[in-house]
Structure 1
Amino acid sequence: MDRLTEMEAFATVVDQGGFTDAARKMGISKSAVSKHVSSLEARLGARLLNRTTRRVSPTEIGLAYYDRARHVLNDAGEADAMVNAMQSEPNGLLRISVATDFGVKHLSPVLAGFLHQFPEIQINMVLNNRYVELISEGFDLALRVGDLEDSTLRARKLATTSKRMIAAPSYLEKFGHPKRIDDLSDHKLLHYSNQSSGNLWKITAPSGEKRQVRTGGWLTVNDGQSLLNAAKTGLGIAYLPSFLFEDALGRGDVVEVLPDLPYDDLGIYAVYPPGRFTQPKVRAFIDFLVREFSAEKQAMSA
């Protein structure tokens, strides 16, 4: 007899508490269930069930075998579900979390191309500037820029951007151009309040040493676009990823501060909950972003 079917019959008898209910659950006859269990006991050379006229219960060795058999059966069920899912067309609701800055500038413009390619998927994109709890808050994936804080999530790198200091020419004319990192302590540094490092900038010195600079200025805000706007109006120096300020830099609204410092690179990642296989809708979206953002990597890291 088939070993997996024997396991299933035995485990179902234990789950249901008897042969009659197990037969009903499996959709086969009671005698067939009994034959499967008897064949399993004969092959193992051990009695797995205590049988009385009123009830059926596992023996001590049967209970130990049940625990392992249930794991095997669950794994087999997951394997079948994985194959079915991977062969199915991506569909259903895809719930995404993304920082407002990146979502507006880089994600929103490519969504139409994805949805035309996968018309059975619906997207709910939530723009916010905090790290959401993917599983507890019901998100399928998130796009994140910079160091990943939660190592339990799966991640795929999409692109790289660089982080640099910028300010308006009017600010530098009024307060002067810093010549070295130590000079920043005499300037108004615009602070991003959602930064994991607190009110510190971590800057790479020409020697490669990581320096920390305490920020303090006229404005603290949890939105990168707002920091850029503040920098453009001359409120201070901002330290931002290049995808945010590249257009303003090209127009001359801002200029780089300490441009000779090494660039600090930031990874752009798609993160999603751990699991034995990735849902087709999530896999399709991530593959799409990899293709889309590979064409933009030059601009993001410029």
Structure 2
Amino acid sequence: MDRLLSMAVFVTAIDEGSIAAAARRFGISAVMAGRYLSSLEQALPARLVQRTTRRLSLTDAGQAYHAKCKRILEDLEEANNEAVDKHASPRGTLRVAAPVTFAAMYLGPVVARYMQEFPAVRVEMQLQDRFVDLVEEGLDLALRIGRLPDSDLVVRRLAGCRLMACATPAYLRRAGTPRTPQELEAHARIGYLGDVSTPPWMFGAPGSAPVQLSRACRVEANNTSMMLELALAGLGVAYAPGFVFANHLARGELLQVLPGFDSPELPLHAVTSTAKHVPWKARLLIERLATAFEGTPPWEQWRGTAGAGRKRRAPSSSAAE
């Protein structure tokens, strides 16, 4: 008898609790489903299932074989789906969630090129600074910045983004340029407040333990664009992922504070709800995002500009106010 069909009947019977349920799934009689299961045991040969009038239970050999059969069948289904997808041009609606500030600054050109390449795809971008439930909200793909909780999501790392502290030259002239994390703690600080929060203000130097700032910030906001505007207005020192500040660092409108100290890196991930069948249109966008952000991502390119050079010539000062 067909080995793959026998494996499929076996897996379905166990997953759905009965041979009759497997028979209904495949449109065959319960007697025929039982024969497929028996033929599988005879071919091995090994007893896979203990049968009673009420239930099926797996033997030790059956437990291991069930797990491997299920994986084989899922891999085969995924291969079939990919073959069909790749043969056809992607079409339909692609629903994507992404952080507000990052998407506004860096996703537009990538999405525009993607849509020009695949004109039959319609894109819905949902910008929000929270971790969304992809299944519940009907999303194909989400971009997430930061450490991910353990889950059954399929994850692909696209790039990294280091946290940093930044302020305007005018603020630093007025309040003083901090040379250590302890001096920075005395400054007016602008922090992030939200469901998806950044780690604490943390700074480390080679050969020394990292320093975490504990004093409360003067102002907190749940949107990094707002934090950026407050920093540009000279209110104080803001601490956020480097992509928030990159354009203004390149122009010298902001200076990095404590450039000799290391801060945590936040990974940028593309996540999908399952590996069983990620829509081809979503895979294509993930590939183009990975290409766009590989090597030195756009938010790190300010380091080679004149504005970046000016940050190293930031004025020294007395103790911070």
The TM-score bracket by the shorter chain reads: 0.7 to 0.9
Going from structure 1 to structure 2, the CA distance change for 1:110 and 1:296 (only over 3 Å counts) comes to: farther
Structure-1 separation of matches of 2:292 and 2:170: 37
Going from structure 1 to structure 2, the CA distance change for 1:285 and 1:271 (only over 3 Å counts) comes to: same
Map 1:137-148 to 2 at 5 A. Answer: 137-148=137-148
Structure-1 separation of matches of 2:79 and 2:198: 43
1:244 equivalent in structure 2: 244
Deviation at 1:262? 2.9
Going from structure 1 to structure 2, the CA distance change for 1:206 and 1:61 (only over 3 Å counts) comes to: same
Deviation at 1:231? 0.5
Per-residue deviation, residues 210-239 of structure 1 (Å, max 9, x unmatched): 211125344211111111110010111011
Equivalent in 63, 78, 81 of residue 77 of structure 2: 81
Map 1:1-302 to 2 at 5 A. Answer: 1-5=1-5, 15-16=19-20, 25-26=27-28, 33=32, 36=35, 40=39, 43=42, 59=52, 63-64=56-57, 78-89=74-85, 90-194=90-194, 196=197, 200-262=200-262, 264-294=264-294, 297=297, 299-300=299-300, 302=303
Deviation at 1:98? 0.8
The number of residue pairs the alignment matches comes to 287
Going from structure 1 to structure 2, the CA distance change for 1:189 and 1:215 (only over 3 Å counts) comes to: farther
Matched to 1:252, the amino acid is G
Per-residue deviation, residues 94-120 of structure 1 (Å, max 9, x unmatched): 221111111001112211111222334
Kept in 2: contact 1:201–1:213 (CA 8 A): yes
Going from structure 1 to structure 2, the CA distance change for 1:42 and 1:246 (only over 3 Å counts) comes to: closer
Matched to 2:271, the amino acid is V
Deviation at 1:37? 6.0
Kept in 2: contact 1:189–1:215 (CA 8 A): no
Going from structure 1 to structure 2, the CA distance change for 1:233 and 1:105 (only over 3 Å counts) comes to: same
3-state SS of 1:163 partner: strand
Structure-2 separation of matches of 1:270 and 1:279: 14
Which runs of no fewer than 5 residues in structure 1 stay unpaired? 49-57
Matched to 2:27, the amino acid is K
Give % identity. Answer: 29
Deviation at 1:156? 1.5
Going from structure 1 to structure 2, the CA distance change for 1:215 and 1:79 (only over 3 Å counts) comes to: same
3-state SS of 1:226 partner: helix
Structure-1 separation of matches of 2:246 and 2:36: 70
3-state SS of 2:183 partner: helix
Which runs of no fewer than 5 residues in structure 2 stay unpaired? 304-321
Deviation at 1:248? 1.2
Kept in 1: contact 2:3–2:40 (CA 8 A): no
Kept in 2: contact 1:91–1:120 (CA 8 A): yes
Structure-2 separation of matches of 1:242 and 1:248: 10
Deviation at 1:149? 3.1
Structure-1 separation of matches of 2:114 and 2:153: 24
Matched to 1:63, the amino acid is L
Under a length normalisation based on structure 2, what TM-score does the superposition of the two structures give?
0.72
Structure-2 separation of matches of 1:126 and 1:226: 19
Structure-1 separation of matches of 2:160 and 2:95: 23
Under a length normalisation based on structure 1, what TM-score does the superposition of the two structures give?
0.76
CA RMSD of aligned residues (A): 4.0
Kept in 2: contact 1:88–1:280 (CA 8 A): no
3-state SS of 2:95 partner: strand
Bigger Cα Rg: 1
Going from structure 1 to structure 2, the CA distance change for 1:299 and 1:275 (only over 3 Å counts) comes to: closer
Deviation at 1:144? 1.9
